[in-house]
Amino acid sequence: MPLLRGHHLICLHFFNGEGYDEAFIENLTHTLSLAEKEIITVSSSADNVCASCLHLKQNECRYAENAEESIRRMDAKALMLLGLSYNDQIEWDALKNRIPEIFSEWVSSYCKECSWRGVCAKDAFYRKLSV
C-alpha cells in the first residue's frame, strides 16, 4: 500500500519519467504503478516518493533551508483542496478525478515557483488542465 504525502497526491499525476537520477526515477515509476493499483494512504511526512530522494536526510527534506516546513505547508494545502486528511485512504482514480477541480488554485499557489514546473508542463494531463 503506497504512502503519499499531500503534494505528491497532486504532483505525481504529472510524472513523465524525469527526476533527479535513475534510482529516483525508478522509485517514482514503481510508486506510481503501486498507486494506480492499490489503495493510497495519505502520509503526514516523508513518503514512498521521498524514500529515494537525495535531499531526504533524517526523514526530512533538506532541498533548501526550511524546505521541510515549506513542504508541510504545501502538503496541508493539498489535503485541504483535495478534501483529505492524514491517514485517509483513497484510490488513484478517485484522486485523479479531483485534480481538475483544484488545478487552477494549485498552479497559482505552487507551480509558478516550482523547480519541477518545466517537467510537469511536458505532461499531457498537465497541459490539458492548463488550457
Entry pTM: 0.94
Q: Are 5 and 46 in contact (CB under 8 A)?
A: yes
CB atoms within 10 A of CB 60: 15
pLDDT class of 17 with cuts at 50, 70, 90: confident
How sure is the predictor about 14, in pLDDT bands with cuts at 50, 70 and 90? very high
Task: Give 38-62 pLDDT, tens digit per residue.
Answer: 999 999 999 999 999 888 999 999 9
- Tell me the per-residue pLDDT of 119-128, one tens digit each, with 9 for 90 and over: 999 999 999 9
DSSP H or E stretch at residue 105: helix 92-109
Give the domain range for residue 37. Answer: 3-130
Structure confidence at residue 115 (pLDDT): 86
pLDDT at position 131 over 90: no
Helix 92-109 crosses helix 22-37 at what angle (to 10 degrees)? Answer: 130
- In angstroms, what CA-CA distances link 2 with 32, 38, 51, 103, 115? 9, 7, 12, 23, 25
Query: What pLDDT digit, counting tens, does each position of 62-105 carry?
Result: 988 999 999 999 999 999 999 999 999 999 999 999 999 999 99
DSSP letter at 86 equals T
* Burial class of 79 by CB neighbour count within 10 A (0 to 12, 13 to 18, 19+): buried
Residue 77 CA to residue 110 CA, distance in Å, equals 10
Q: What is the pLDDT of residue 107?
A: 96
Can you tell me the mean pLDDT for 23-39?
Answer: 95
Number of domains in the chain: 1
